[in-house]
Amino acid sequence: MMFHFLEKKARGAVNTEYVLRLSMFALLFATSAIVTSIALFLPSYFFVSAKHATIANQLTEVNATVKSAVTNPLAEIGNINATVAALARPADTFDPSSILAAVADVRTPGITITRFVLSGASNASISGVASTRAALTDFAAAMKGDGRFTNVVLPVSALIPETDNGFTITFSAH
């Protein structure tokens, strides 16, 4: 209310001072709001920038690997098909479980099998311990007499001990 008692020139000076102070306060508030926003959003910006750079580098590496690894996709597919064909087992081969089942069928009492090794499509060897020499010779004879085994070889050295004979028999399975 005291404002009306001032002269017109003084009132203009007070109005100018009021507007100047109000403008300074608004400018200070806007500046502090901008600085606060920058301070709050700057870590997020750096994080996003670093993540973008990492993904871009990984994409570049993957593209370089793909370009260097596969120059001719049709040739690569042919190589994969050849590998699959080489690894595919023919239908007429003996699988290990059927060879083991055949050995278990002819195993005689007193024979303990400790090891089975498959080499090639049908060549194999079994190792174990026979309680007596007779049990070992009976087992070898049973394998030789069975039609599922050929080339049954029992080394003579396995027949030297009378009991607890360690042995290895090699054979081909059909």
pLDDT in tens, 130-144: 999 999 999 999 999
Instruction: Report pLDDT digits (tens) over 80-93.
Output: 888 887 777 665 55
- Whether pLDDT at 12 is above 90: no
User: Of 165, 169, 174, which is closest to residue 141 (Cα–Cα)?
Assistant: 169
Please say whether the beta carbons of 139 and 111 come within 8 A.
Answer: yes
Task: Report the CATH architecture of 96-173.
Answer: 2-Layer Sandwich (3.30)
CB burial class (10 A; 0-12, 13-18, 19+) of residue 39?
Answer: exposed
Residue 131, phi then psi, degrees to nearest 5: -65, -35
For the chain, the structural domain boundaries read 2-68, 96-173
Least confident segment among 25-39, 58-72, 156-170: 58-72
Average pLDDT over the chain, rounded to whole?
86
Confidence at residue 165, expressed as pLDDT on a 0 to 100 scale: 86
The Cα–Cα gap between 12 and 7 comes to 9
Confidence at residue 10, expressed as pLDDT on a 0 to 100 scale: 85
Confidence at residue 68, expressed as pLDDT on a 0 to 100 scale: 65
What mean pLDDT is predicted for residues 38-64?
Answer: 90
The pTM of this model reads: 0.47
- Whether pLDDT at 94 is above 70: no
Confidence at residue 78, expressed as pLDDT on a 0 to 100 scale: 82
